[in-house]
Amino acid sequence: MTEHRMPAANRNEPGVTATDLPRELRPLRERAGARLLALAVTTLLIGVALAVGMFLEHQLRLPNILLVFLPVVLFAAARYGLLAASWASVLSVLATSYFLAPPTLSFAVSDPSNIWALLIFLAVAIVTSGLAAQARSRAAAADRHSRMVEALYEFSSTLGAISDGDALSREAAQRIEALLQSPVVMLLPGDDSLRPVVGSLSATPLNEMELRAASRCRETGLPAGHGTGTDPGARYLFLPLEAGRGTLGVIGLAPQRQARSLNAERNRLLDTLIRLVAINLERAELAHEIRQSEILSATENLRAALLTSISHDFRTPLASILGNVSSLREYGHLYDERTRQETLAATEEETRRLSLFVDNLLHMTRIDAAALRPTMEPVDLSDLIGSALQRVEKRLAGQRVRTVLDPDLPMVPLDFVLAEHVLVNVLENAAKFSPAGTEITITAKAEHREVVLQIEDEGPGIPAADLSRIFDRFHRASVADHRPAGVGLGLSVCKGFVEAMGGRIVAGNRTSGPGAVITIRLPLALAENRE
C-alpha cells in the first residue's frame, strides 16, 4: 500500500490514553512537554549528585569525584533517552568544573589532568548513554510491537465473532478510530451504489463530493479523496477494502488538524487493519450465502417431504373415496342396504382422515407464520376429553378407552378448539399404533401450578431412536408392521398448539409394560404463565 497522509491525534477517545497509542501518533505538544519534564528531572538529579559529590569531596577527598554523576547519566539514558543523557553529561562536566575542580566557583581549570579527565568523562558518558538509549529504544520498539500484535489479535478476534456485515463494519470503524485516533466511516455496496454504514462516534455524514470519491475508490481500487489526485477537497481519505472476491467496500479516514505522513511501521499497521476488515467482510458474506443456501436447502427438503407425503398419504384415502363413490354410482343398484351403508361408512372414514391431514397442514402453516392466537378461557377437562373421544369414536372402536380424572380437578385456562385438536391427534396416533383389543388410558391430575394430562397406549411404544424426533414435522416413527404412519404432522401440530397455550408436551414409553405415553402439562394460572 502506498503511503497516505494521516492525522496526528489532537484528542483522546474515552478509554484510550496517550500511553496506549503508538509514540508517533501522540500530539506534538505532549511530546514536547515530556521532553521538558525529562530535562527538568535530569537537572534536579544532577543537582542531587553534585551535593553528594561536594559532601564526599569535603569528607574523603576522592580523586575521581566525577563518577558520582555517572549513575544519573545512565538513569537519564535508560529512562528518557539520548537527549536527556547528553544533557546530564554536559551538566556533570560543567558542575564538576565550577564547583569541584580547583579553582572552585569558576569554569577555569588549573590542573591540565583535570581537563583531560573531564573530556574523557564526557566522551565515556555520551557513548554509554548512547548505548543505554539504544537499548531503551529497542525495548520500547519491542513493547510497541507486542502491544500492536495484541491489539491486532483482539481486533481480529472481535471481528471474527461477528457475522453481520453492517455490525462488523461499525465495530471495525470504532476500533480503528481508537487505534489511529482518526474518525472512520465505512461504506458497503448497496442496491445501486455505496451506502454509508454508521461508523465511529465522531464521524460526520458524507457530502456529495465524498460519496463520489468513495465510489471512484471502489471502482478503481485506488485511494481517493483527501491528499490524493481524486477529489482532494474531500474531508476523508478513502481506501478500498480488497479481498479475494474483489473490492467489498470502502473505508474513509478523516485527517486531523496536524496532518503528517505515517512512517513505515504505522503504514503497515493501517494496511493490516484494512486487510483484516476486508477478510472478515468476505467471511461474513460467505457465511450469509451459506445461511441462505441452508435455508433454501431446508425449504427444498421441506417441499420434497410435503410432496412425498401428499402423493403417498393423500392418494390412499382419495383412491378409496373415488373407488367407493364410483362403485355406488355405477353398481349401487346391485348392493344391498348393508353393503351400501358399509361403503358409505368407509367413504366417510377416509374423507375424515383426509380432512385431518389437510387440517394439520393448515395448522402448521399458521404456526410457521406466527398467526396462531389462542382464545384462552376456563375449560372443564372432562368436557374437553368427552368431546375429543366423540370425534374419534369410530377410530377407537377396536380399543378399550379408560379415563381417570382427579375429582378435584380445577378449570384450566386454554383454547378449547386447539386443545381438542391436540387430544384428537394424540388419540388418533395411539389408535393407529395399538393392536385391536388393547387399552388406551387417559389420566388427568393437578400437580403444583399445572394440570398433567397423560395418554397411554399398549402398542409397541416409541423406538429409542425416534424419541428425540417424535415431534419433528414430517417425521414418521418406524413400525414393524408397516401400518400407515400418516403425513408426520400430527404430533408436530400438537407441540405447536400446546406451546401456544403456554404448556409443554413430551413423549416417552411406559415403564410397566409396552406402550407409549404422551404427557401434556398445562399451566393453571394464565397470568403467571404469561409474565
User: Concatenated DSSP letters for 202-270?
Assistant: TPPPP-HHHHHHHHHHHHHSS-EETTSSSSTTSSSEEEEEEETTEEEEEEEE---SEEEE--HHHHHHH
Q: Which residues pair with 189 in a beta bridge?
A: 194
Give the separation between CA 396 and CA 457, rounded to whole angstroms. Answer: 12
Question: For residue 353, what are the contacts with CB-CB under 8 A and spacing of at least 6?
Answer: 317
Q: How far is CA 207 from the centre of its chain?
A: 32
Tens digit of each residue's pLDDT (9 = 90 or more) over 361-372: 676 666 655 656
Cα dist from 486 to 77, 360, 408, 433, 479, whole Å: 87, 11, 37, 11, 12
DSSP string, 13-56: -TT--GGGS-GGGS-HHHHHHHHHHHHHHHHHHHHHHHHHHHHH
Residue whose entry in the numeric block shows the C-alpha cell 484494512: 274
Handedness of CA 76, 80, 81, 83 (dihedral sign): negative
* Residue 443 confidence (pLDDT): 92
Query: CA–CA separation, 411 vs 300, rounded Å?
Result: 44
Tell me which residue has cell 553534585. 50
| Cell 416409541, located at residue | 462
* Amino acid at the residue 318: L
Distance CA(322)–CA(417), nearest Å, equals 30
Supply 247's cell numbers: 473490492
Look up residue 384 and give its amino acid.
L
Beta bridge partners of 452: 445, 521
Tell me the sheet residues that pair with 218: none
With beta carbons less than 8 A apart as the criterion, state whether 374 and 414 touch.
yes
Q: Which of 225, 169, 215 is nearest to 192 (CA)?
A: 215
The ranges of the chain with pLDDT < 70 are 1-31, 57-66, 97, 100-102, 104-122, 124-125, 129, 132-133, 198-203, 256-266, 299, 302-313, 360-361, 363-372, 473-489, 526-531
SS3 content of the chain, % helix, strand, coil (to 5): 55, 15, 30
First-to-last C-alpha distance (Å) of the chain: 57
Output the pLDDT for position 2: 40
Helices (H), 161-263: 165-180, 208-220
Q: Residue 189 in 3-state DSSP?
A: strand
Question: b/e for 342-355, b at 16 or more Cβ within 10 A?
Answer: ebeeebeebeebbe
pLDDT given at position 26 = 46
Contacts of 426 (CB under 8 A, 6+ apart): 455, 490, 491, 494, 518, 520
Q: What is the pLDDT of residue 521?
A: 92
CA distances to 322, 370, 392 from 340, rounded to whole Å, are 15, 45, 22
Domains with residue ranges and CATH for the chain:
5-159 (no CATH), 372-530 (3.30.565.10)
What pLDDT is recorded for position 452?
92
What is residue 11's predicted lDDT score, i.e. its pLDDT?
37
Which helix (H) or strand (E) segment holds residue 84: the answer is helix 82-95
331 contacts: CB under 8 Å, gap ≥ 6: none
Q: What is the pLDDT of residues 447-481, one digit of tens each?
A: 888 899 999 998 888 888 777 778 776 666 655 44
> Which pLDDT belongs to residue 46?
79
Which residues, 6 or more positions from 241, have their beta carbon under 8 angstroms from its beta carbon?
247, 248, 249, 250, 251, 274, 277, 278, 281
pLDDT value, residue 519: 92
Q: What are phi and psi of 241, to 5 degrees?
A: -100, 95
> Cis (ω within 30 of 0) for the bond into 103?
yes
Which residues of 406-449 form beta strands (DSSP E)?
412-414, 439-447
Cα–Cα distance for residue pair 250/239, rounded to 1 Å: 6
Q: 479-488 b/e with 16+ CB inside 10 Å = b? A: eeeeeebbbb
Q: Are 66 and 109 in contact (CB under 8 A)?
A: no
Name the residue type at position 304: A
Task: List, as own/partner pairs, every contact residues 24-30 make where C-beta atoms lie below 8 angstroms and the sequence separation is at least 24, other chains included.
Answer: 24/262, 24/263, 24/265, 24/266, 25/180, 25/181, 25/266, 27/258, 28/258
What is the model's pLDDT at position 242? 84
458 secondary structure, DSSP code:
-
**Residues 457, 510: Cα–Cα separation, whole Å:** 8
